[in-house]
């Protein structure tokens, strides 16, 4: 059977004190079966994004340990930074990578939320795919007013009732836990230095202006080359090859071509396999046919 | 670091007695770290093809155990079958799958050959990438005369000198051990029932008639549809997408298109990832960017 893999990408409200960051990362990586892939501190935002993976139970436990350590070491009354935030462990999304569904990740988010609420006495809000009502889906809405504003409203405004935990904020603030698809940062370079073509193509391809639903896109000039810079927010619904083919068509409309593309950071293997199947017109292909799918931890 | 995976696809000269087949497969699968993927007995050929994978040491040990069991249970003096063969364990190729080079597989083949020669007293010939001289590269040449013919010549004809083991044949015959790239069985269906188009395209695309070097191809009619049936014998040198694009061009030449394609059996993941990178024009992509590449046995 395919190994089950969940990614977790928690954002902690500390991007300056290296000892605090190290302690949080250590709490995560000490959990057996959890593997830290990346740690990105940002001093201006005073915030650190950690990425780690593992089986559902290991990732849930590691996220709990990270949240507990952050709550112990970060005082939100003393926190300042440019990025909006409501808590020491601010946002904790779970991402299905392999052998797990979005529903599995929603279940992980809910179990963790209950535990953070009861064991750590921290108010928890579930968001995106784990949201318990539509207004809770959008992270920006849940985070409105930030730590200071939520502290005033919680316990008084019924719309701010947490999903788990107390109806009051301690110095660790609140934690927003959820489930979402993996993000792919995909950039396409055009055979032109004309950024206006890139901007027009970006407008055609992005969901917000009527293009492909799960594409965010901007036209940029990067080192003198015109680039369509994209975030693919749900590659199962808007696959990489549909974005690529739409850009190729639109570029031809403006008399230019695609010079090359790049992926920034990590990409789930399935996104690239889907692309191969599409261009090879490979019908009836089963994931079992990938030789490596038969390999377990042996 | 990427997990090291070698595939081994031994052919045993027994395709009828299920107990013998089971005993050989058990000897292989009892080695820790070796995982049997497939067992294909053929009664007409009186021959069974086994496919298993694992790290280099585990696969080498499992191959040895399989050869030893076959030598114990199969008497080549009593063996009859349509397929050419020289020994109980007839051919034992090692295939690099992940995190290992062809040279690593050649080293596995040579170590195993030495051990089979000395511990099992079986003459061993190294072939393909592991061959010790050019006339030994081609399996058909090494197997010429089969068990009966080789038994006469060995020890007398210097061209038949084994690489390891005795210069005489026992009832287990000889074993041919080597290293080769993975095979991909890739079929393309055309938007026509005209098999003559498929035959012309196959001729254009296959290496033997001047096409792509590591492609074997035939034009067939399959359930009323014209099919170009291929074996890709070295996908790193002739990648799947080059075969596909050449077929698309040639099909257009005959006024037809590609309806769909299929892969029969297993395909190394890398072959599909290479295809995705090609069609996305994805420059500077590192295998480290595949999220799953960071997962070890955790």
A240 and B280 in contact by Cβ < 8 A?
yes
Dihedral angle, C-alpha A183, A188, A193, A195, nearest 10 ° = -40
Q: What's the confidence (pLDDT) of residue B3? A: 79
Pick from A38, A96, A273, A276 the residue to mutate for testing the B interface (most B CBs within 10 Å): A276
Return all residues near B119 (Cβ < 8 A) that are at least 6 apart: B64, B68
The pLDDT of residue A298 is above 60 = no
Give the separation between CA B49 and CA A18, rounded to whole angstroms.
57
Check: CB of residue B123 under 8 Å from CB of residue B154: yes
Strands (E), B137-232: 175-179, 184-190, 215-222, 225-232
Nearest C-alpha of chain A: how many angstroms from B120? 28
Give me the long-range contacts of B270-274 (CB less than 8 A, separation at least 24): B270/B98, B270/B235, B271/B182, B271/B184, B271/B232, B271/B235, B271/B239, B271/B240, B272/A272, B272/A273, B272/A276, B272/A277, B272/A290, B272/B240, B273/A269, B273/A272, B273/A273, B273/A276, B274/B235, B274/B239, B274/B240, B274/B241
* Mutate: best of B97, B279, B287, partner A, most A CBs <10 A: B279
Q: Do B281 and A261 touch (CB under 8 A)?
A: yes
- pLDDT reported for residue B99: 87
> What pLDDT, in 10s, does the model give residues A46-93?
999 999 999 999 999 999 999 999 999 999 999 998 889 999 999 999
Q: Which residue of A has its CA nearest to B243?
A: A280
A37 and B291: CB-CB below 8 Å? yes
Within 10 angstroms of residue B151's Cβ, the number of other Cβ atoms is 18
For an interface test with B, the pick among A56, A186, A282, A289 (most B C-beta atoms closer than 10 Å) comes out as A282
**Do the Cβ atoms of A276 and B273 come within 8 Å?**
yes
d(CA A120, CA A143): 20
Work out the pLDDT band at B2, boundaries 50, 70, 90.
low
Contact between residue B76 and residue B174 where contact means Cβ atoms under 8 Å apart:
no
User: pTM of this prediction?
Assistant: 0.76
Structure tokens at A149: 């504003």
Strands (E), A80-214: 89-98, 124-128, 175-179, 184-190
Tell me the nearest-neighbour CA distance from B228 into chain A, angstroms: 14
Which residue in this structure is represented by tokens 């639903």? A213
Burial tier of A14 (Cβ tally within 10 Å: 0-12, 13-18, 19+): buried
Closest-CA residue of chain A to B258: A281
Of the partner residues B260, B267, B291, the one whose CB lies closest to the CB of residue A290:
B267
Q: Spell out the alpha helix ranges (H) of chain B.
A: 18-29, 56-73, 102-120, 139-142, 146-153, 195-205, 240-253, 269-280
Residues B162-212 have pLDDT tens digits of: 999 999 999 999 999 999 999 999 999 999 999 999 999 999 999 988 899
The shortest CB-CB distance from A269 to any of B33, B290, B297 is to B290
Classify B226 as helix, strand or coil. Answer: strand
Distance CA B277, CA B261 (A): 19
**Stretch A164-177: mean pLDDT, rounded?**
98
User: A207 CB contacts (<8 Å, ≥6 apart)?
Assistant: A213, A214, A215, A216, A238
* CA-wise closest residue to A266 among A118, A150, A98, A107: A98
Judge: A291–B263 Cβ closer than 8 Å, yes or no. Answer: no
The C-alpha atoms of residue A16 and residue A20 are separated, in whole angstroms, by 8
**Choosing from B79, B83, B242, B294, which is the catalytic residue?**
B83
Chain B hits for A261, CB-CB cut-off 8 Å, are: 280-283
User: Above pLDDT 90, what percent of chain A?
Assistant: 85
Residues of chain A with C-beta less than 8 angstroms from the C-beta of B98:
292
Tens-digit pLDDT profile for residues A204-220: 999 988 899 899 999 99
Span B1-20, mean pLDDT? 91
* Span A244-268, pLDDT tens digits: 999 999 999 999 999 999 998 889 9
The shortest C-alpha distance from B91 to chain A (Å) reads: 21
The DSSP letter of residue B181 is P
Chain A with chain B: Cβ pairs closer than 8 A: 143
Cβ–Cβ of B292/A265 closer than 8 Å? Answer: no
Chain B residues lying within 8 Å of A262, measured CB to CB: 282-285
Confidence of residue A2 (pLDDT cuts 50, 70, 90): low
| pLDDT at residue A1 in the model | 52
* Residue of B276, B278, B293 to mutate, testing the A interface (most A Cβ within 10 Å of its Cβ): B276
Find the helix or strand (DSSP H, E) in which A279 lies.
helix A269-280
CA R_g for chain A: 21
How confident is the model over A226-239, as pLDDT tens digits? 999 999 999 999 99
Query: B289 and A267 in contact by Cβ < 8 A?
Result: yes
Q: Is the pLDDT of residue B85 over 90?
A: yes
Q: Is the pLDDT of residue B297 over 70?
A: no
Q: How far is CA B206 from the centre of its chain?
A: 19
Q: Tell me, yes or no, if B83 is annotated catalytic.
A: yes
Q: Work out the minimum CA distance from B260 to partner chain A, whole angstroms.
A: 5
Q: If residue A53 lies in a helix (H) or strand (E), which one and from where to where?
A: strand A47-54
Closest residue in B to A56 (Cα–Cα): B298
Mean pLDDT of B29-50: 93
Taking CB atoms and an 8 Å cutoff, what residues of chain B touch A294? 35, 37, 53, 266
pLDDT at A295 over 80: no
ipTM: 0.72
Taking the C-alpha atoms of residue B66 and residue A288, their distance in angstroms, rounded to an integer, is 25
Out of B269, B282, B294, the one facing A290 most closely (by C-beta) is B269
Residue of A nearest to B32 (CA): A298
Closest residue in chain B to residue A281, using alpha carbons only: B260
Residue of A nearest to B279 (CA): A279
């Amino acid at each position: 059977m395919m190994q089950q893999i969940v990614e977790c990408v928690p954002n902690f409200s500390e991007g300056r004190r290296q000892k605090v960051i190290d302690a949080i990362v250590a709490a995560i990586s000490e959990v057996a079966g959890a593997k830290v892939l990346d740690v990105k501190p940002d001093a201006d935002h005073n915030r650190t994004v950690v990425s780690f993976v593992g089986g559902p139970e290991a990732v849930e436990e590691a996220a709990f340990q990270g949240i507990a350590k952050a709550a112990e070491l970060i005082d939100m009354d003393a926190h300042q930074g440019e990025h909006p935030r409501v808590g020491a462990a601010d946002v904790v999304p779970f991402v299905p990578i392999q052998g797990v569904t979005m529903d599995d990740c929603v279940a992980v988010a809910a179990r963790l939320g209950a535990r953070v609420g009861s064991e750590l006495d921290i108010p928890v809000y579930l968001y995106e795919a784990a949201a318990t009502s539509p207004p809770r889906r959008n992270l920006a809405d849940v985070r409105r007013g930030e730590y200071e504003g939520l502290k005033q409203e919680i316990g008084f405004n019924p719309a701010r009732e947490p999903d788990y935990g107390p109806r009051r904020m301690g110095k660790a603030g609140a934690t927003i836990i959820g489930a979402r698809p993996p993000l792919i940062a995909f950039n396409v370079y055009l055979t032109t230095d004309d950024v206006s073509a890139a901007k027009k193509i970006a407008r055609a391809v992005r969901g917000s202006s009527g293009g492909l639903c799960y594409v965010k896109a901007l036209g940029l000039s990067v080192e003198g080359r015109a680039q369509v810079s994209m975030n693919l927010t749900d590659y199962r619904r808007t696959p990489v090859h549909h974005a690529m083919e739409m850009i190729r068509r639109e570029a031809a409309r403006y008399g230019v071509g695609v010079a090359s593309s790049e992926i920034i950071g990590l990409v789930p293997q399935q996104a690239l396999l889907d692309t191969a199947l599409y261009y090879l017109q490979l019908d009836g292909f089963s994931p079992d046919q990938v030789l490596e799918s038969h390999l377990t931890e042996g």
